[in-house]
Amino acid sequence: MEKHIISMLGEKDHGKSTLLGNLLIQTGAATEHRINEAKKYTKKGRFEPGYILDSFEEERNQEMTIDTTRAEVVYKGGIYEFIDVPGHLELIKNMMSGASHGEVAILLVSVKKGEGLKPQTKRHIFLSSMFGLRALIVAVNKIDTVNYGKGVFEATKATVSKYLDSINFTSPVVYVPISAYNGENLISKSANMKWYDGPTIIDALVGAFKGGRTKGGSGTRAIVQDVIDHEGKEMVFSMLASGSIKSGQKVRVWPSGEESKVRELYLKGEKAQSAGMGNNIALLLDGFPRISRGDVISGGDEKPASTRNFGALIFLIARVGTAGKLELKMNNNAITASISKVNSVTSPITGTSAKPDGSLPASHAARVQITLDRDYPVERFAEHKELGRFALYSNGKFSGIGIVL
Amino acid sequence: MMEQNLATLEEKAIYVLRESKSKFKNVAALWSMGKDSTAMLGLARKAFLGKVPFPVIHIDNGIDFPESYEFRDSLAEKWGMELIVSRSEIKPEMSGFACCGSNKTDALKKTMKEYGFDALIVSIRRDEHGIRAKERYFSPRSRDFKWDYKNQPEELWNNYSSREKGADHLRVHPLLDFNEVDVWNFIKTNKIPINPLYFAKDGYRYRSLGCTHCTVPLKSNADTLDKIMAELRETKVEERSGRQQDKEKEYVMQKLRALGYL
């Protein structure tokens, strides 16, 4: 079965783990043993379905998610794997680690008095828009606390929609009114919300994944992992991030730009004629071109968007100086770089602009020009995701993420 | 439990295995002769053009099943693997937590130090336990092998941790995405030799293998790979229900793993 990956987003206590816990119970995905184990920790006579996910002792005692976890549901011929993430600001790096793997996101927005669209909710939305999403499902939660009011649902929908417009969010969005705790509108329609004629959470997910797998960019791009000696042959291990490759075809190696030809191609240990997107291959190349880890192999007539200078959108989780050196991590390679120009700095949370005064503040997005210290092939994120995104480090500290524009 | 797309799972595992060899100087893998670590070795042969290019460590407390020892020696020879046997001593007063926690971990510590390994491939899966579902693909362990689960490093996309900030070694988890039934699907599809204890005999089979002291078989008539897979698609029983150590106390898996347990 094909597996679809969904990340959970939203402020702490807006119901991410609870929604997921009840989804697991209602679809029969949680074993009785696991439910009973979670029930042992019931407090004040109120069973918390989120405990099925929150397995750390500290998580149950403090009633919060500390680190990401994954759980699956099998539904209508597909496997849906959910990544639960912590909602607390200080745990943002754990949230990002989880959310970076999601193709579709479920965003929890609680309508309980005093909750609503919080700064942290906005932070999660903005980050996920940078990760690139096929679709966003907004779960308008705790609707039971406002008497299942249609008016509250519509008002929340308008608020979230206005915010999404303000950050130019382009993926499709579906809004579903739910009670995560009561398990309403998760799998089957709630009798308490007859006014709602849209899909349940699970049906919204089925809809979001219609149309098959996410497509790759145009052209062939294979990321080199390693070059090894195999029985006297120099074999190049690489991951085909997009396109296809054939035995005998002309290729180019970047950043050097040297031309070569595929003499032998191996797929899962066996000699093969061709390989496609997502395959981890081994190549024997003609003429021993200069090649090492981090290089990219393209089709013979293709070249990467850049190897030195590019524009990028970055989002910071810590303050970063603009004068010093930064480190970009792309496909597990660290590349030293500097910011050559700052074009704009805005807060996607407050909507206000900031002036760059030698540093970029946390929780801000910036459009910048980046210059690498050495040649390294990069692509526009919109074309080739794998080659157009990076984690940003300043003084060895994880400080944000970026995408190549 | 339904099978996931095997091709996708294999690609991810191959990528992670190759990444570990490329990023680290001295890699080893743990091999318990169970289904998961044996499947991992089959994946390594696919990743590295038919070879297992790293030594495999068996932590041997002397009380594994006779079938396991026999299986170990024959497969190690067949696949040309460099086998390191790391002996741990069982003391009579030990059981469960103490045995799995300190005894096996101490033996592993000694071997890791002796050979200077900086990365250790461990075939855990997310679906085995709530605690294992919280693991990263590359996870640092401190000098005393502790897992700092409250402060795990970030792991965005495929940017994995390196050996830094006082880490003793990295644990590498290529099978994290596999479910139990996927492991069997891989074994069946790729005709991987497997420990005979998993197949039912006289109405019982082992679903999860520990040592003879702490593992009990479960009622089953599944004596073929197809029957095992059919059984798993329907089961409501936890995989590790036959393992004593998990049951002794609350949060025992969390505590074992924090101390360096596998």
Nearest to B211 by CA among B126, B106, B99, B132: B99
Report the distance separating Cα B210 and Cα B34, nearest Å. 8
At A289, the amino acid letter reads P
Q: Which residues, other chains included, contact B257 with Cβ-Cβ below 8 Å and sequence gap of 6+?
A: B131, B132, B147, B149
A69, A268, A279 member nearest B134 (Cβ): A69
Where along chain B do its domains lie?
Answer: 6-178+249-258, 196-244
Q: Which of the four CATH numbers 2.40.37.10, 2.40.30.40, 3.40.309.10, 2.40.30.10 does domain A309-404 have?
A: 2.40.30.10
Mutate to test the interface with B, among A96, A284, A332 (most CBs of B within 10 A): A332
Sort out which chain A residues have CB atoms less than 8 A from B10's CB and list them: 268
A57, A68, A268 member nearest B10 (Cβ): A268
Domain B6-178+249-258 has CATH 1.10.1610.10: no
Please indicate whether, in this complex, the C-beta atoms of A269 and B150 are within 8 angstroms of each other. Answer: no
Mutate to test the interface with A, among B6, B14, B243, B247 (most CBs of A within 10 A): B14
Report the run of H or E that residue A105 belongs to, with start and end: strand A104-110
Report the distance separating Cα A20 and Cα B187, nearest Å. 31
B15 lies within 8 A of chain A by CB: yes
For residue A378, the Cα-to-chain-centroid distance in whole angstroms is: 19
Sort out which chain A residues have CB atoms less than 8 A from B179's CB and list them: 72
Q: What residues 196-255 of chain B have any CB closer than 8 A to a CB of chain A?
A: 236-238, 241, 250-251, 254
Nearest to B152 by CA among B258, B78, B46: B258
CA separation (Å) from A215 to A33, A280, A382, B10?
39, 17, 11, 20
Q: What residues 72-111 of chain B have any CB closer than 8 A to a CB of chain A?
A: none
Chain region(s) in chain A for CATH 3.40.50.300 = 3-208
**Chain B nearest-CA residue for A330:** B159
Question: Tens of pLDDT along A106-148?
Answer: 999 999 999 999 999 999 999 999 999 999 999 999 999 999 9
**Chain B nearest-CA residue for A388:** B157
Sort out which chain A residues have CB atoms less than 8 A from B150's CB and list them: 56, 58, 66-67
Chain region(s) in chain A for CATH 2.40.30.10 = 221-299, 309-404
Strand partners, A226: A237
B18, B156, B238 member nearest A280 (Cβ): B18
A34, A57, A386 member nearest B254 (Cβ): A57
Closest approach of B35 to chain A, Cα-based (Å): 20
B166 lies within 8 A of chain A by CB: no
Phi first, then psi, for residue B135 (nearest 5°) are -80, 155
Structure tokens that stand for B214 in this block: 């702490």
**Chain A nearest-CA residue for B254:** A56
Question: Tens of pLDDT along B164-192?
Answer: 767 899 999 999 999 999 999 999 999 99
Closest approach of A373 to chain B, Cα-based (Å): 20
Question: Tens of pLDDT along B60-106?
Answer: 988 888 999 999 999 999 999 999 999 987 766 666 566 666 778 88
DSSP assignment letter at B246: G
pLDDT in tens, chain A (405 residues): 889 999 999 999 999 999 999 999 999 888 888 888 888 887 777 889 999 888 888 888 888 888 888 999 999 989 999 999 999 988 999 999 999 999 999 999 999 999 999 999 999 999 999 999 999 999 999 999 999 999 999 999 999 999 999 999 999 999 999 999 999 999 999 999 999 999 999 999 999 999 877 777 889 999 999 999 999 999 999 999 999 999 999 999 999 999 999 999 999 999 999 999 999 999 999 998 999 999 999 999 999 999 899 999 999 999 999 999 999 999 999 999 999 999 999 999 999 999 888 999 999 999 999 999 999 999 999 999 999 999 999 999 999 999 999
At B2, the amino acid letter reads M
pTM of this prediction exceeds 0.90: yes
| A143, burial (CB in 10 Å: exposed 0-12, middle 13-18, buried 19+) | buried
Sort out which chain B residues have CB atoms less than 8 A from A282's CB and list them: 49
Report the run of H or E that residue B16 belongs to, with start and end: helix B6-23
Question: Tens of pLDDT along B201-234?
Answer: 999 999 988 777 778 899 999 999 999 999 999 8
Q: Which of the four CATH numbers 2.60.120.330, 3.40.50.2000, 2.40.30.10, 2.160.10.10 does domain A221-299 have?
A: 2.40.30.10
Strand partners, A338: A371
Domain A3-208 has CATH 1.10.10.10: no
Report the alpha-carbon angle B97-B102-B103, nearest 5: 100
Strand order in A104-110's β-sheet? A69-75, A78-84, A3-9, A104-110, A135-141, A173-177
